[in-house]
Amino acid sequence: MVFDTNISHKKNKILLVEDEKKSADPIIEILESNSYSVTHVNSGDNALEVTKSEVFDLILLDIGLPESIDFGYEVCERLKKRKEMKDVPIIFLTGKTDRKSIERGFNVGAVDYISKPSKHGELLARVKTHLDLKSKTKSFKQLASDLSKFIDKKRIEIEQLKLESENQKRNNNTLTRLIEEAEKTNEELKLIVASTKVAADKVIIFIHGLGGKKRKNRWEFMDKAIKNDKKFYAQYDIKFQEYPSEYIKWHPFGKSPSIQVLADDLKTLIEVECRDFKEIALVAHSMGGLIARQYIVDSIINQKPTNVNKLMLYATPNNGSQLAKLGILLQFRNIPIFQMKKKSSFIKNLNVQWDKLKVEELVKVKYIYGGKDRIVSKKSAIRNTNNSDYWVEIDKNHFSIGKPRDNSDRSYIILKKFVLNTSQSGHYQK
């Protein structure tokens, strides 16, 4: 039996709830010019009424409806209480982009938001994304239901044939054929499930240190372990910050980017590629931990809230490293090495700002040090001798820490425990 996983395309119906004609007209023009069917109502009451008699594929809902200051949220909440509206995506149109307003929208059932005035490209992209996701979800649920019914039917037939076979010792050929068909169907289901990865709403961003790369000598073992853990991988997407870093700078006229510049690179990665994730965990090694800490400090100072809620620091020289002095003698243009030496102005300023802003009350931080690390001391890795929020990988050195041999290795177990522990999460906000 072959199952068709293709999604049928039709002219999608969109309900636009917007009281201002000057705001509604451009949106209608953009959507209808791209083959969407648009129904426009100018109040929340009309929206609640029209959805009783018509079925829509998606709703664009203005938060600031004229009935009251919170009526847009109330309309969304009332719509989502209806059984028939449960799977209809609602996108808020809003001029409010502060964290509190956005989170409130998600809490009452919205799946996304578009800032007003809406931009042509952003409007179409977000509408298409959520219509596609709704269609794929519906198609997959139907497929799973049909397949379950088919398997149940075949199981009943097989049981009936088994009973007849015990009494009459016949129909062996038919029984064999049905068993083979059920097994083939089961294999098809496995292939369908394996090829259908529902988009996760959480992400782990891995950040390498000086001289590290994503696929070479740093995160490839952790990447493999996570992907082998199907249940964990279904909950979290994985991304990597990659940047040029060398222990030895062979080009005398070249210059390595500073840790502040690399923090800006991480900011760009998060704002461009990770905007729609509800939770972001940063996992960093060595100098990568300083990049992550600088990014968090910059975000708080600049009042730029993100969904970063956890930070895991492997062998990070939070108080600097004595070996950086040797690097300075060899590398006069390698700026990060200067910044990582003990008592450098960068290290001092970062730690002062970190404590002043009380970052660890806003973001859950876990420090990890290696029992055999001869590059970053325990005191520097855990930052503060009074700090009790740390773990140790007793058999790992600076280069093997955070590299699990398999899914039973402590390196993987502690990462999974920390990331999955929801009681430890907390976003920092404006």
- Same-domain status, 301 and 394: yes
Nearest partner of 365 among 383, 350, 345, 377, judged by Cα:
383
| Res 9 pLDDT > 70 | no
Judged on CB neighbours under 10 Å (0-12, 13-18, 19+), 181 is middle
- The residue written with tokens 């062996």 in the block is 172
Residues in the chain: 430
Say what the pLDDT of residue 29 is.
92
Q: What CATH number does residue 84 fall under?
A: 3.40.50.2300
Asked whether residue 252 carries a pLDDT value surpassing 90, the answer given is no
Residue 280 placed within a domain: yes
Distance in angstroms (rounded) separating the CA atoms of residues 315 and 240: 18
Same domain, 264 and 401: yes
Mean pLDDT of 68-79: 80
What is the pTM for the complete model shown?
Answer: 0.54
Q: What is the pLDDT of residue 425?
A: 46
Q: Is residue 98's pLDDT more than 70?
A: yes
Band of residue 191 on the pLDDT scale cut at 50, 70, 90: low
| 86 falls within a domain | yes
- pLDDT, position 177: 77
Q: For residue 89, what pLDDT is reported?
A: 94
pLDDT at 150 over 60: yes
What pLDDT does 325 receive? 52
Residue-level pLDDT at 7: 41
| Any domain includes 123 | no
Among the residue ranges 43-47, 97-101, 206-210, the one predicted with the least confidence is: 97-101
Supply the DSSP string of 391-416, one letter for each residue. Answer: EEETT--TTTTT--SSTTSHHHHHHH
What is the extent of the structural domain holding 233? 202-424
pLDDT(248) > 50? no
The whole-number average pLDDT for the span 87-94 is 90
pLDDT grade, residue 199 (50/70/90)?
low
Determine the straight-line distance between the first and last CA of the chain, rounded to whole angstroms: 55
Residue 74 lies in a domain: yes
pLDDT at site 328: 45
**Does residue 185 sit in the same domain as residue 208?**
no
What value does the mean pLDDT take over residues 247-275?
77
Do 18 and 108 lie in one domain? The reply is: yes
Any residues with CB less than 8 A from the CB of 147 and at least 6 apart, and which? 3, 185, 189, 192
Residue 344 lies in a domain: yes
ω into 257 cis (within 30 of 0): no
Query: Buried b vs exposed e over 3-37: b needs ≥16 C-beta within 10 Å?
Result: eeeeeeeeebebbbbbbeeebbeebbebbeeeebe
**Both 321 and 283 in a single domain?**
yes
Do 419 and 204 touch, CB atoms closer than 8 A?
Answer: yes
**Share above pLDDT 70 across residues of the chain, in percent, rounded to a whole number:** 82
pLDDT at 235: 87
The pLDDT of residue 63 is above 90: no
Residue 324 scores a pLDDT above 70: no
263 vs 128: CA distance, rounded Å: 32
3 within domain boundaries? no
Give the residue, 332 or 129, on which the prediction is more confident: 129
In a domain, 278, yes or no: yes
Helical axes 410-420 vs 220-228, angle rounded to 10°? 70
Q: Are residues 69 and 160 in the same domain?
A: no
Per-residue pLDDT at 309 exceeds 70: yes
Instruction: Please give the angle made by the CA atoms of 49, 54 and 55, to the nearest 5 degrees.
Output: 120
pLDDT top residue among 50 and 331: 50
Q: For the chain, what is the domain count?
A: 3
Please give the average per-residue pLDDT across 26-39, as a whole number.
Answer: 92
Judged against a pLDDT cut of 50, whether residue 40 lies above it is answered with yes
> Does residue 72 register a pLDDT over 90?
no
The residue-averaged pLDDT of 346-362 equals 92
In this prediction, residue 190 carries a pLDDT of 58
Q: Which of 213-227, 229-243, 353-367 has the highest mean pLDDT?
A: 353-367
Whether the predicted pLDDT of 121 surpasses 60: yes
Q: Which of helix, strand or coil describes residue 368? A: strand
The domain that contains 392 carries what CATH number?
Answer: 3.40.50.1820
The rounded mean pLDDT for the chain is 82
Q: With cut-offs at 50, 70 and 90, classify the pLDDT of residue 31.
A: very high
Rounded to an integer, the average pLDDT of 237-254 is 67
Do 353 and 226 lie in one domain? The reply is: yes
Residue 77 pLDDT greater than 80, yes or no: yes
φ, ψ at 422 (rounded to 5°): -65, -20
Can you give the pLDDT at residue 71? 79
What average pLDDT score do residues 294-309 get? 89
DSSP string, 284-319: EETHHHHHHHHHHHHHHHTT---SEEEEEEES--TT
The tens digit of pLDDT for each residue in 361-415 reads 999 999 999 999 888 999 988 988 787 889 999 999 988 898 999 999 988 999 9
Whether 239 maps to a domain, the answer reads yes
Average confidence (pLDDT) over 237-243: 88
pLDDT bucket at 8, cuts 50 / 70 / 90: very low
DSSP string covering 201-233: SEEEEEE--TT--STTTTSHHHHHHHHH-HHHH
Q: In degrees rounded to 5, what are phi and psi of residue 365? A: -120, 135
Which pLDDT score is estimated for 115?
84
**What distance in Å separates the CA atoms of residue 430 and residue 97, rounded to the nearest whole number?**
11
- Using alpha carbons, select from 336, 325, 321 the residue that is nearest to residue 383: 321
Q: Tell me what the mean pLDDT of segment 270-281 comes to.
A: 90
- pLDDT above 90 covers a percentage of the chain that reads 35
Res 109 pLDDT > 80: yes
211 and 346 inside one domain:
yes
Closest CA to 210 of 397, 336, 307, 45: 336
The answer to whether residues 377 and 255 belong to one domain is yes
Residue 194 predicted with pLDDT over 60: no
Strand-strand pairing, 112-115 and 236-241: unpaired
Domain boundary among the residues 195, 215, 234 is at 195
